[in-house]
Amino acid sequence: MHHRQVPVASRLSEVRYEIRGELARRALELEQQGRAIVKLNIGNPGLFDFEAPPHLRAALAANLPHSDPYCHQQGMAAGREAIAMREIARGAPNASPKSIFIGNGVSELIDISLRGLLNPGEEVLVPSPDYPLWTAAVILNGGRAVHYPCLPERGFLPDPEDLEARITPRTRAIVVINPNNPTGAVYPKELLQAIADIASRHRLVLMADEIYDGITYDGARFHPLAPLAPDAVCVTFSGLSKVHRACGWRIGWMSLSGPLKRAQDYLHALDLLSALRLCANVTAQWAIEPALYGPDTISPLVAAGGRLHAARQAVIEGVAASQFLSLVAPAGALYAFPGVDTTLLPGFDDHRFALDLLETEDVLLVPGSSFNVPYRTHFRLTLLPQAKQIEDVFVRLERALERASRS
């Protein structure tokens, strides 16, 4: 019998999020059959024995009795003050608790920030590769994502001239993801300055996704965008999910800075949209102040000898030992984005390979084309497993690549 489907919203036809897509569903099926799948697809620290720092857990537990009511739609005062103090200390112009919004993860705030900005057909400059929520959220909010390439041969950094050439009268904002997911690129200060200047010249909003702001390796330095952009409205996003390994608590924030007199209507729009969803998880907001002003728990993990540093090293060595792979070593964040040599693997297809690797070697990666790039030669893996497990993954990877080169 023919079952007529409930028609779904047509705007979804362009929306993709393959990090939790078809391959992840297949991995779940294989697990249900008893296979042990190494899941390197999601940057979920909790899946790899990372825990939120004890002082953050203690803050939640101690404040559970004070967490029953809804709070203000922009977030609790204590959390917003802590975030504002940090933004001001970093030099973000005009940052204040009044222009900070705490959300259920940065994910929710990405959606709200674009919903409050975009009219139908307006354009947002999004990096390629990107964290695919950015492209999806632009489309879902009626906009058009215009991708600016960040090419491997340029260390996955954008070319500011190329970026500026993509601006049209419909462009409203530039998204900058730094440190970058999926490539691990950390943007030099001069490049950020050039992007900030472009935004100022064209009166565009800067969307600075800095959720990996404490995660850099081997002396790479993170520079926040907001202090470099005194003349552009800048929305800086960060949260507890990565640096503080508490992604299940669903706490993120965005802070507006720059010429906020020009952003009064936008601030009202963001306040209204925040009010419509009432507020962010109250219990977990108690962790914001201790996260920002308590002990630094991320530096020991990323410094030489630390667990994330060792994992990154294992990826670099695994690629160096491979016949088929090349890599721009990640300078930050929680991922590596290696590519294959197409002279050895002509016709390589990232998606087909990822499926084959899953079926034959029990390893789940994300095909590079899921991150809105036009090529199908790369894939992303997370740096969250122990170095030993990554070494083992590279043995399996090489075996699968060798098979692909013979087929």
> Least distance from C-beta 131 to ligand PLP, angstroms?
4
Closer Cβ to ligand PLP, 209 or 361, answer by number = 209
Closer Cβ to ligand PLP, 107 or 370, answer by number = 107
Closer Cβ to ligand PLP, 157 or 345, answer by number = 157
Closer Cβ to ligand PLP, 53 or 93, answer by number = 53
| Interaxial angle between packed helices 105-115 and 133-140, expressed in degrees from 0 to 180 and rounded to the nearest 10 | 40
> Least distance from C-beta 216 to ligand PLP, angstroms?
15
> Least distance from C-beta 96 to ligand PLP, angstroms?
22
> Least distance from C-beta 173 to ligand PLP, angstroms?
15
Distance, CA of 128 to CA of 163 (rounded, Å): 11
Distance, CA of 106 to CA of 267 (rounded, Å): 17
Closer Cβ to ligand PLP, 93 or 290, answer by number = 290
> Least distance from C-beta 395 to ligand PLP, angstroms?
27
For 239-277, b/e burial (b = at least 16 CB within 10 A) is bbbbbbbbbebbbbbbbbbbbbeebeebbebbbebbeee
Mode of pairing for the β-strands spanning 234-239 and 205-209: parallel
Question: Widest CA span of the chain, in angstroms?
Answer: 65
Distance, CA of 241 to CA of 246 (rounded, Å): 5
Pull the structure tokens for residue 36. 């042990």
Distance, CA of 403 to CA of 279 (rounded, Å): 52
Closer Cβ to ligand PLP, 235 or 345, answer by number = 235
Closest chain position to ligand PLP (CB): 105
Pull the structure tokens for residue 186. 């950390």
> Least distance from C-beta 332 to ligand PLP, angstroms?
11
**Preceding amide of 182 cis, omega within 30:** yes
| Contact call for residues 234 and 258 (beta carbons, < 8 A) | yes
> Least distance from C-beta 325 to ligand PLP, angstroms?
23
**Preceding amide of 152 cis, omega within 30:** no
Contact footprint for ligand PLP (CB under 6 A) = 43, 105-107, 131, 177, 181, 209, 211, 239, 241, 247, 252
In the block, residue with structure tokens 């300078």: 331
Closer Cβ to ligand PLP, 93 or 368, answer by number = 368
Pull the structure tokens for residue 152. 């491997």
| Contact call for residues 309 and 332 (beta carbons, < 8 A) | no
Closer Cβ to ligand PLP, 177 or 291, answer by number = 177
Closer Cβ to ligand PLP, 143 or 252, answer by number = 252
> Least distance from C-beta 247 to ligand PLP, angstroms?
5
> Least distance from C-beta 300 to ligand PLP, angstroms?
22
Q: Count Cα neighbours of 293 within 13 Å in the Cβ-side half-sphere.
A: 16
Pull the structure tokens for residue 104. 């259920």
